Amino acid sequence: MSNSERLDKVLSNLGYGSRTEIKRDISKGKVMVNGNICKDPSTKISFSDTIQHYDEVLIRKEHYYFMMNKAPDCITATEDPREKTVMDYLNERHKNMNLFPVGRLDKETEGLLIFTTNGKFAHHYTSPKHLIDKEYYVEVEGILSDSDVQAFREGVILDDGYKTLPGKLILFGQKDESSPTQGSDLIKEDLVIKEKKDLQQTSINLLNLDQDINILINSSKISYAKVIIREGKYRQIRRMFQALGKHVIYLRREKMGTVVLDPNLQVGSYRELTEVEVEELISG
């Protein structure tokens, strides 16, 4: 963005309407520049000028940066003919500011997503050569162990044969999701009944019964952990756990580089980054 631009273009870039709508507001005397009504849409505006649109005083910046707590019902895209996108959570003014998401999150994943108008920054920040730590809170079906921690530390081979860069898996604990009345004997009894029915149709070998019981018992537990990775492959965390025989049931990104998800942001809400957050983001 140049140092000085037309008044109508500045207001349009700030999302206050189309050039036609803004020219109409200007002609009606609804726009002030440095305390004076301005009716000329071609008036050159610099960063030192103060603009007032109706009763709102505008702060003009070279670029804008926001954080969103992404909801799990939308895809990370600027538009899509079939799916709800993260842009649908922006208000009309911010939609008109040419904001776009930096990087992406899977549809089912919640948490931190950065938006900006700075294409050069976004390209650099998401470049494979620019590795930044991304932290996630994850809930996994099954029991996580030290062997899983070691696998993350060494890098996990995904379903396409790609070996991820080393990451960190920090275990928080587990919770038993089975009801108090479900003991191993009851599980075994129910499974035997199921196995006998299956045997009549598929001749399943009952020698695998104990292994099946262990899988069933383990899958009734939920493990909680933090994951830190430096890449952003397609559905990477889910695929890493899948490669280890685990299933992710909840995933939330909490940090990206220096930017930490605001704990006060409700799912689906967003806010502009503070000056300090922007400085740390750009310098990082």
3-state secondary structure 88-110: HHCCHHHHCCCCEEECCCCCCCE
Residue among 114, 122, 13 at smallest CA distance from 59: 13
pLDDT confidence of residue 51? 95
Q: H-helix or E-strand containing 213?
A: helix 209-219
Do 74 and 101 form a contact (C-beta atoms < 8 A)? Answer: no
∠ CA 237-238-239, nearest 5°, is 90
Greatest CA separation found in the chain?
Answer: 88
Indicate which residues carry an active-site annotation.
106
∠ CA 255-257-263, nearest 5°, is 25
- Domain 64-131+262-284 grouped into CATH 3.30.70.580: yes
Q: Where are the domains of the chain?
A: 4-58, 64-131+262-284, 184-219
Q: How far is CA 71 from CA 107, 116, 140, 213, 283, in A?
A: 8, 18, 19, 36, 28
Calculate the CA dihedral of residues 50, 54, 59, 63 and round it to 10 degrees. -120
If one looks up domain 4-58 in CATH, what number appears? 3.10.290.10
pLDDT confidence of residue 177? 64
Q: Pairing state of beta strands 4-6 and 134-141? A: unpaired
Residue among 66, 10, 70, 43 at smallest CA distance from 254: 70
pLDDT confidence of residue 261? 98
Provide the strand spans (E) within the chain. Answer: 4-6, 31-33, 36-37, 44-46, 51-53, 56-58, 65-70, 100-102, 110-116, 134-141, 168-176, 221-229, 247-256, 259-260, 270-272
Tell me the backbone φ, ψ of residue 207, rounded to 5 degrees.
Answer: -65, -20
- The residues that bridge with 69 in the sheet, in sequence order, are 112
Rg of the Cα trace of the chain?
A: 26
pLDDT confidence of residue 205? 44
Q: Which residue has the tokens 């006998």?
A: 196
Over the stretch 189-239, which tens digit does the pLDDT of each residue have? 443 334 434 444 444 443 444 444 344 444 569 999 999 999 999 999 999
CB atoms within 10 A of CB 249: 14
Q: How far is CA 123 from CA 55, 61, 278, in A?
A: 36, 20, 16
Give the distance, in angstroms, between the CA of residue 201 and the centroid of all CA atoms in the same chain. Answer: 45
Burial 172-193 (b: 16+ CB within 10 A, else e): eebeeeeeeeeeeeebbeebee
Burial 66-83 (b: 16+ CB within 10 A, else e): bbbbbbbebbbeeeeeee
- pTM (two decimals): 0.79
Low-confidence ranges of the chain (pLDDT < 50): 1, 179-218
The CA distance from 178 to 218, in Å, is 10
Length of the chain: 284
pLDDT confidence of residue 2? 54
